[in-house]
Amino acid sequence: MTATITILGAGPAGLGAAFRAAQAGHQVTIVERAGRVGGLAGSFEVAGVMVDHGSHRLHPATEPHLLEELKRLLGEDLQQRTRHGRIYLEGRWIAFPLQTADLVRNLPPSFAIAAGRDAILSPLRKAKGDTFADLLLAGLGPTMCDRFYFPYARKMWGLAPEMIHGEQARRRVGGNAAGKLLRKLTGSGKAGGVFYYPRRGFGQIWEALAEAASRSGADVRLNTPVDRVEQCSGGLRVSAGAEQFESEFVWSTLPIPVLARLFQPCPDKQVLDAARRLRSRGMVLVYLVLGVGRYTEFDAHYVPQGFTPVTRISEPKNYRDGDDPADRTVLCAEIPCASGDGIWSTDDRDLGRLVGEALAGMGLPAVDPVEVVVKRVPAAYPVYDLGYSDCLEVLVEWSESVPGLLTLGRHGLFAHNNSHHALEMGWAAAAALGPDGGFDASAWSASAESFAAHVVED
């Protein structure tokens, strides 16, 4: 007995699910809006250089069985690299991930003394509530918060730290204990100072996975935007323009509010209200093509403070030993924003200028881009505002009430996560399918609970 499954979205979650379910002999169709696979973790070409949607690395925290599978699929193309980034903090450059000797050498002494004092006093502080501000102030103290984390949070989510749910601190920082944070920041925790990255851009991982899924029998449909999901006599029907796909199961990695809006019969008002209130943070990605072989030796520059809206600038060529052109390089600047706001609507040339100003403001070499390419991503990060968890609960409860429907992935479960977490979700969905083609909802619920422990690696 095999199951028939239509998977919506060919990002890491959808592809992981498609690969494993097809391998187990089920009939899988995966339907993707874009012209290539990988979703947010996919790559594309700018001036002959493969670039990502902002800085992407495969972290060593990836579950060993997933990492082994990816190594098997990519072979030597999946390179192990040493991290080589830095943070711009109060006019100085600090190595990132942090290193003790470098911190002692480069951290402004007033900052180091105050942060050290806060760390010693941390057992005496208690969180006053469950907001991002409460948890980080209790765990880290005012120095790291006021001079590092809070300005970054304002740029990143467009909210005051007091208006961000405590879950954001848990997902991003992994708890509120100063020791935990320090271990994470200094790379002496699980992540270490290395990462994995493929020769031809981060998206090569997902292209390899899509090929493996196809070889196992999955039908991968690109350029197929889903516009309707409805119940029918055979289970569920997915429509994408004139095309229709009927199956017993639909596994959606679309943003859960989008899924609720395109579902028929239309969910009730409470569900649609929740879908309206759950917000995602957008991102403008600005790619500067430079007529030089290399801009700096660093893979990424992190910019937490508020003098520019840019949060990170990466140089994709420095993530790999690849076949990149020798006479040019591309910089990728990440600017979080809300879809439709001032940054979102700024024209491409002015965005290029804004990135040039950010570089100059940090004392980096002046740039004269040959070309500026801009990509606008309406949903890059789930926003954990104070009301988000109630809305999410309503939406998940609704999706669970529809027989055969499952929602997973970063935006499907509104989880601020990494691609290896999304992949794990796909793997878990397929594992919940029995050999008789039935879906074990309790096995899936147990996995879904474990996803709450995912902590984002930067």
Ligand X SMILES: Cc1cc2nc3c(=O)[nH]c(=O)nc-3n(C[C@H](O)[C@H](O)[C@H](O)COP(=O)(O)OP(=O)(O)OC[C@H]3O[C@@H](n4cnc5c(N)ncnc54)[C@H](O)[C@@H]3O)c2cc1C
Dig out the tokens for 98 from the structure.
Answer: 């942090």
Q: State yes or no: residue 39 binds ligand X (CB under 6 A).
A: yes
Residue 57 binds ligand X, judged by CB under 6 A: yes
Using rule CB under 6 A, residue 33 touches ligand X = yes
Strand partners, 312: 302, 334
Interaction with ligand X in 295-334: which residues (CB under 6 A)?
334
* 225 makes contact with ligand X (CB under 6 A): yes
| Minimum distance from residue 94 beta carbon to ligand X (Å) | 19
Residue type, 394: V
Q: How far is the CB of 259 from ligand X (least distance, A)?
A: 9
Within residues 351-380, the interface with ligand X by CB under 6 A covers 380
Q: Per rule CB under 6 A, is residue 13 in the interface with ligand X?
A: yes
Residue 12 interacts with ligand X (CB under 6 A)? yes
Say how far apart CA 61 and CA 418 lie, in whole Å.
10
Extended beta strands in 114-222, E state: 194-198, 219-221
Closer CB to ligand X, 53 or 279, in the complex: 53
User: Which of 86, 328, 410, 454 is close enough to bind ligand X by CB under 6 A?
Assistant: 410
Q: What CA dihedral angle connects 206, 212, 218 and 222, to 10 degrees?
A: 40
**Shortest distance, CB of residue 115 to ligand X, whole angstroms?**
26
Q: For the purposes of burial, counting CB atoms within 10 Å of the CB of 342, is it exposed (0-12), middle (13-18) or buried (19 or more)?
A: exposed
Sequence-separated (6 or more) residues with CB below 8 Å from residue 211: none
Residue 253 binds ligand X (CB under 6 A): yes
Please report whether residue 417 would count as binding ligand X according to CB under 6 A.
yes
Q: Residue 227 Cβ, how far from ligand X at the closest point, in Å? A: 7
Q: Which residues contact 28 (CB under 8 A, 6 or more apart)?
A: 5, 6, 7, 18, 21, 22, 213, 217, 218, 219
Alpha-carbon gap, residue 396 to 407, rounded angstroms: 8
Q: How many residues bind to ligand X according to rule CB under 6 A?
A: 35
- Residue with Cβ nearer ligand X (96 or 111): 96
Query: Binders of ligand X among 271-290, rule CB under 6 A?
Result: 283
Query: Which stretches does DSSP call E strand in 253-403?
Result: 263-264, 280-290, 300-302, 312-314, 329-337, 371-382
Least Å distance between CB 351 and ligand X? 16
Residue type, 12: P
Q: CB of residue 152 vs ligand X: minimum separation in angstroms?
A: 14
**How many Å apart are CA 149 and CA 157, to the nearest integer?**
12
Which whole-number Å values give the CA distances from 285 to 100, 334, 376, in the listed order?
32, 5, 6
> Quick one: 346 or 417, whose CB is closer to ligand X?
417
Instruction: Report in angstroms how near the CB of residue 388 gets to ligand X at its nearest.
Output: 17
Q: Which is nearer to ligand X, 41 or 47 (CB)?
A: 41
Residue 172 in contact with ligand X, rule: CB under 6 A: no
**What's the closest the beta carbon of residue 312 comes to ligand X, in angstroms?**
7
- Contacts to ligand X by CB under 6 A: 8-14, 31-34, 39-41, 53-58, 225-226, 253-254, 283, 334, 380, 409-411, 417-420, 422
